[in-house]
Structure 1
Amino acid sequence: MDILSAAKERHTAKAYDAQRRIPEELMQKVYSLLRHSPSSVNSQPWHFIVANTPEGRARIAKAAQGGYSYNQAKIEDASHVIVLCSRIDMDEAHLNNLLDQEERDGRFKDAAARAGQDAGRRGYVYQHRFGGKDVAQWLEKQVYLALGTALLGAATLGIDATPMEGFDQKILDAEFGLNEQGLASLVLVSFGYSSEKDFNATLPKSRLSEEMTFTFI
């Protein structure tokens, strides 16, 4: 499916066929899309927890109780569920890991280029840490870029998906020991194939008009 058709035809799945599983070769493409998503100054402030077993999905579903129980079936019946986590801060270890990986990947022609990349990235980190005092929110924005990449990419692969912010973050963070790793859960995404109960699959897509959405100058 071409990308424009995927954008127009995709929908947020509301119910999944619990008997259908996504072939692993397709999910590998989704993982690759997440890993190759863009991020400001190549910050890559994310970590992804993948649940592809009933036991794994049950662990994530612990955070969909009480007021969030409407999302429980979307987690348990899906083929795969991914927790998108965001770094709480850009610490020295992560900054150095980025720089070392960029060097291994051949992005620096010399030491000056490496130093320039490091200084430029730190400039943005310091701007958000000390200027705007919003470094955590800035990093979360990068993770949402990965979310959009995965949702559109999954649609091109014929995979249904459901992004979910409706879960208890404290429960999920504790379940996977995320805060101790400098991470926090941000959003969940279920992947699978819609069931007959997915009412949203047959509803027409609704978007504001081009005139209301764009200003051409």
Structure 2
Amino acid sequence: MNLIDTMNWRYAAKHMTSQKVSEEKVQEILEAINLTATSAGLQPFRVISISNPELKAKLQAASFNPQVAESSHLLVFASYTHISQAHVEEYISLIANTRNVPLETLAGFKENLSGLPSMPEDFIKNWAARQAYIALGTAIIAAANLKVDSTPMEGFDNAAFDEVLGLKEKGLQSVVLLALGYRDEASDFLVGQKKVRIPLEELIVTLN
């Protein structure tokens, strides 16, 4: 199935069955997230993958979406609330080690990134959250490619999620969720419905 067929197949499942997504498929989705594009490659977010039924039920109480509990796996995208100089130092070291290059050759890039720790907190929070949303898009496409249903969700109590998952202590804030599972064809009213999208020529402005 080509990409456009896959994208036509996927939709935000409103209800999911109890069927579990294999760990191999979940791992592939997580690897795709790890390979997603992010600003400067800094990856200023983390993804919490939850399959524990009791924990999902606890989080369900702080969400408007039944897919939180119904999902096989719930992915919580949590972005950084600040960038420290230690974050920059660790990232520069990772580049040097991964590419086997001297640290000195990265001095200019490091200098460019070193302004981030002094940026206002609101700027960092908003910027990091936008990076998490880029990763969310990658996850949705990766899941569809594996014929795994997914539902992106914003309808939840962020503060409650942060408390349950201990995110504040880690310098993180929950920003968006992705439920992974399989569509419940018996109870999901959207099963089999055509996608509703505006004409491509209305969405796209082409400047030649």
TM-score by length of 2: 0.92
**Structure 2: runs of 5 or more not aligned:** none
Are residues 1:10 and 2:10 paired?
yes
Q: Which residue of 2 aligns with 1:168?
A: 157
**Structure 1: runs of 5 or more not aligned:** none
- Distance in 2 between residues matched to 1:91 and 1:169, nearest whole Å: 23
- Distance in 2 between residues matched to 1:98 and 1:126, nearest whole Å: 13
Contact 2:149–2:180 (CA under 8 A) maintained in structure 1? yes
Matched to 2:51, the amino acid is N
Cα gap change, 1:126/1:94 in structure 2, threshold over 3 Å: closer, same or farther? closer
Aligned match of 2:112 in 120, 136, 154?
A: 120
RMSD: 1.8
- Distance in 1 between residues matched to 2:122 and 2:27, nearest whole Å: 36
Cα gap change, 1:191/1:120 in structure 2, threshold over 3 Å: closer, same or farther? same
Contact 2:152–2:176 (CA under 8 A) maintained in structure 1? yes
Contact 1:62–1:172 (CA under 8 A) maintained in structure 2? no
Are residues 1:76 and 2:69 paired?
yes
What is the total number of aligned residue pairs between the two structures? 206
Alignment of 1:174-213 (within 5 A): 174-195=163-184, 196-213=186-203
Deviations 1:188-209 (A, max 9, x none): 1100000121212222111111
Q: Secondary structure at the match of 1:134?
A: helix
TM-score by length of 1: 0.88
Q: Which residue of 2 aligns with 1:137?
A: 126
Q: Which residue of 1 aligns with 2:53?
A: 54
- Distance in 2 between residues matched to 1:213 and 1:27, nearest whole Å: 32
Identity over aligned pairs, percent: 29
Q: Which residue of 2 aligns with 1:28?
A: 27
